A and B are shown apart, each in its own frame.
Chain A
Amino acid sequence: MPIEYYVFLSLVLFCIGIAGTLMRRNAIIIFMCIEMMLNATNLLLVAFSKMHNDPSAQIFVFFSMVVAAAEVSVGLAIIVMMYRKVHSVDVNILNRLKH
């Protein structure tokens, strides 16, 4: 397959993630859309690794997964704490900086 197909596929997945982040109010869904964007970039990195025959890009995908795992553990802890405080996962409640 030509490389551009993979570029376009990961681009579509990334833009779905961005649209979901803008459209939803549930903090967990927004978080999942960010995970989808991370995976789209991972797919692009693997495609370029195949194109250049270089394993470095795949190692980079590993580190991106590591950062994603750490981010998920801390982020979900923050969402659980927020739910415990305000009994909702609606991000619109967290707009105290506006007032």
Chain B
Amino acid sequence: MDIQQVLFWVLSALAIGCGLGVILSRNPVASVIFLILTFFMISGHYILLNAQFLAIVNIIVYAGAIMVLFLFVIMLMNLNADTEPQKSRLIQVAGAISGGTLLLVILAALRTSLYSVPLEKGATDIGLIENLGKTLFTKFVLPFEVSSVLFLSAMIGAVVIGKREPAQEDGGVGAALRQPNQN
């Protein structure tokens, strides 16, 4: 067992454990912290797979930006373990069983059909920023430009949706939605 295998097993066990922590912890803030830890483990896997630049981008974009956004929203709403809505035990068990069954089915289907290819050690420079940049700006330049339009529309959409509507605090959708909760 060389160092790479040891790192693979440690990172995999930590990633799966933190992933289970995300869905099992009652406190939403703890879930966010577990998810950030999962992303760090996945970044470790990227480094093992010689995708160094992706590992850095994963940490900066996912753990740094997206999860901080989640954390802001959770703290803005003041959510904690007491206000956490819980499904009934039956539905929780049903959800766990269906997820586990899907895992078993795909595992059984892939176990015999996959041919075992060891990932060779050659060509370690594929994930460096120089190669990725060349590929991005030659082969994939059109999707790159389209994604900028996507970002622009997402930004405008987020601003428009998040804007507070004037003088419509209690009418319309809000009252209609709140009604079944009261009776």
Q: A interface vs B, CB < 8 Å?
A: 1-9, 11-13, 15-26, 28-29, 31-33, 35-36, 39, 42-43, 46-47, 49-51, 53-56, 58-59, 61-63, 65-74, 76-81, 83-86, 88-90, 92-96, 99
Contacts and interface: CB of A to CB of B under 8 A. Distances in A.
Contact of B32 (A16, A21, A32): A32
A84 B98 CA distance: 33
Given A8-B110, A50-B119, A81-B161, 10 more contacts: A8-B107, A9-B12, A13-B16, A29-B28, A31-B70, A36-B19, A46-B51, A62-B136, A68-B66, A73-B69
A32 B31 contact: yes
Nearest to B32: A32
- Max chain B Cβ within 10 angstroms of own Cβ: one of A51, A72, A95: A72
Contact of B65 (A15, A18, A69): A69
A26 B123 contact: no
* Consensus secondary structure, chain A interface: helix
A8 to B, nearest CB: 7
A66 B154 CA distance: 11
Contact of B132 (A21, A58, A70): A58
Interface in B139-154: 139-140, 143, 147, 150-151, 153-154
Contacts of B127: 49, 55, 58
Contacts of A62: 54, 57, 132, 136
A84 B94 CA distance: 31
A56 to B, nearest CB: 6
Q: 7 smallest A-B Cβ distances: which pairs?
A: A19-B99, A22-B95, A20-B23, A70-B154, A23-B95, A15-B103, A85-B174
Contacts of A53: 122-123, 126
Given A26-B79, A59-B135, A69-B66, A12 B16 contact: yes
27 contacts: A1-B8, A1-B118, A4-B114, A7-B114, A11-B103, A11-B110, A12-B16, A13-B38, A15-B102, A16-B19, A19-B96, A20-B22, A23-B95, A35-B66, A36-B19, A36-B22, A39-B38, A56-B135, A59-B139, A65-B57, A66-B150, A72-B66, A76-B70, A77-B158, A80-B76, A89-B85, A96-B176
